[in-house]
Structure 1
Amino acid sequence: MNKKPYVIGIAGSSGSGKTFFLNCFLKHFSPDEVTLISQDDYYIPANTKTQEENKLYNFDLPTSIDRNAFYKDISDLFDGKTIYKEEYTFNNPAIKPKMLEIKPAPILIIEGLFIYHYTEVNKLIDHRIFLDANQDIALERRLRRDLIERGYFEDDVRYKWVNHVLPSYNEYLLPYKNSCDQVIINNTDDPEPIWKITDDICADLKDKIYK
C-alpha cells in the first residue's frame, strides 16, 4: 500500500443494529477495497477480569479490551501487514472460534464501543459514524441476541444492561456523539431504511475517496 487507508469508524450502543448496518455497508465494496477490524475480537479472557459480588463479569469497560494489541494490529494494517487473529466467541462453548485473516485495504473500518474513547485510535479515523436506538428497542434486541445466540440467562442480561451497558454507554460513547460526522437513529427492524442510508453514505465516500 502506497498511502494510509481511508479509515471509517463505526460505533453504536448495544442493540443499535450495528452488526446489520456493518453487513449492509460492507456489501457496497469488494473484498479488495475494504477490510474490517473489530474491537470485540480483543476482549481479555474472562477469567482474568475482576468479578463483582454477584460473579457477573463487566465486559463494558475500556479495560476489558487488550487496547495495546488492538492498536498494534491497526498500525500493522497501516503498514500493509496482514493480521491473523482468533475470533472472540463471547465465552460460548458451542461456538468454535475461527481464525480471522484481516488484510490491508484502501478502506479500513474500525468498529467497537470504545473506538472514539481510545484517543490513539480515534485520531486515526477520517469519518465517524454513530449508531443509536431508543433504550427499550435496544434492550429488546439485546435480549433476543443474548438469550438465543449466546445462551445467557435473562436475569443476567437485564442486570448487565442496567449496571454495565447503560453506564458504559453514557460515559464512554455518548460524549462523542455530537463530534461524529453522521448519527443514525435505528429504531426499526425493517432493513430498507438501513440499505438506503448505507447506499447514500457509500456513494458519498466512494466519490470522496476515489475522486
Structure 2
Amino acid sequence: MNRPYIIGIAGGSGSGKTFFLNRFLDHFSADEVCLVSQDDYYFPVAHNMTPEENKLYNFDLPSTIDNEQFENDIYKLIDGQVIYKKEYTFNNPNIEPKMLEIKPAPILIVEGLFIFHFKAIDELLDMRIFLEADGETALQRRLKRDLHERGYSHDDVMYKWENHVVPAYNEFLLPYKDDCHKIIINNTNTAENIQAITDDISKELREKILS
C-alpha cells in the first residue's frame, strides 16, 4: 500500500470535534479511512484517583499522553500494519473499554488536542483542520457533556475549564491555528452546516486521493 494521506484534526474542548469527525467518517467506508485518537493514549492514572484528586489532576497537558506509543502506532499504520489499542473511557466505571482494531487505509485521520504540538506527528500531516468555537459556546457544550455523560459536578467542570482547559488550549493548540489548511468555525448546533463542510472536504479527497 502507498503511504496514506494523513489528515490532522484538532479543536479545543467544546469545538464540536467529535460531531465533525462522525459526519466526516460517514462519507467513507472502513477500508477507505482509519482514525487514531489521541484520547486513547492517556497514561492510565485516573482509575487510582479519588474524586478530589481527579478534579485537581490536569489532563490537559502533553505530558499526560503516551506520545511515544501514539507516534509509534501512527508509523505502524503508515507501514501498513494493523494496530490494537484499548479504548480510553475517561474514568467512567460504567463503560467497559473495548479493544480497538485499527486497520491501515488510504486516508489516515489523526485527531487530538496536541497533534500539532507533537512535532514528529505534525510533520507527517498532509492536511491540518482546525475546529473553533467561541468561549461561551464551547463551555456550554463542555458542561452538557461532563455533567450528563461523565457525572462531574458543576464546580468540578468549571474548575477544570478555568484552570486546565482554557490555558492548555491557549498554549498548546491556538498558536498553530494559522498554520492549518482549513479553519472551521462551529458556533451553531445546526447539523446542516457541518454536513456541508464535510461534503466539500470529502469530495476534494475523493478526487485527489481515492480516484
Shift of 1:210: 3.2
Whole-Å separation in 1 of the counterparts to 2:64 and 2:120: 17
For structure 1, the 5+ residue unaligned runs are none
Shift of 1:53: 8.2
| Equivalent residue, structure 1, for 2:81 | 81
Q: CA RMSD in A?
A: 1.7
| Equivalent residue, structure 1, for 2:43 | 44
Whole-Å separation in 2 of the counterparts to 1:130 and 1:55: 28
Shift >2 Å, 4+ stretches: 46-49, 52-55
The superposition leaves residues 22-66 of structure 1 with CA deviations (integer Å, 9 ceiling, x where unpaired) of 0000011111000000000000112589xx989511000000100
| Equivalent residue, structure 1, for 2:5 | 6
Whole-Å separation in 1 of the counterparts to 2:196 and 2:145: 24
| Equivalent residue, structure 1, for 2:116 | 116
Whole-Å separation in 1 of the counterparts to 2:53 and 2:102: 38
AA aligned opposite 1:83: I
How do residues 123-134 of structure 1 correspond to structure 2 at under 5 angstroms? 123-134=123-134
| Equivalent residue, structure 2, for 1:174 | 174
Quickly say closer, same or farther: Cα 1:54–1:12, change in 2 above 3 A: closer
AA aligned opposite 1:198: T
Q: TM-score, normalised by structure 2?
A: 0.95
For structure 2, the 5+ residue unaligned runs are none
Decide whether the 8 Å contact of 2:58 with 2:164 is kept in 1: yes
The number of residue pairs the alignment matches comes to 209
Decide whether the 8 Å contact of 1:46 with 1:57 is kept in 2: no
AA aligned opposite 2:71: Y
| Identical counterparts, % of pairs | 65
| Equivalent residue, structure 1, for 2:34 | 35
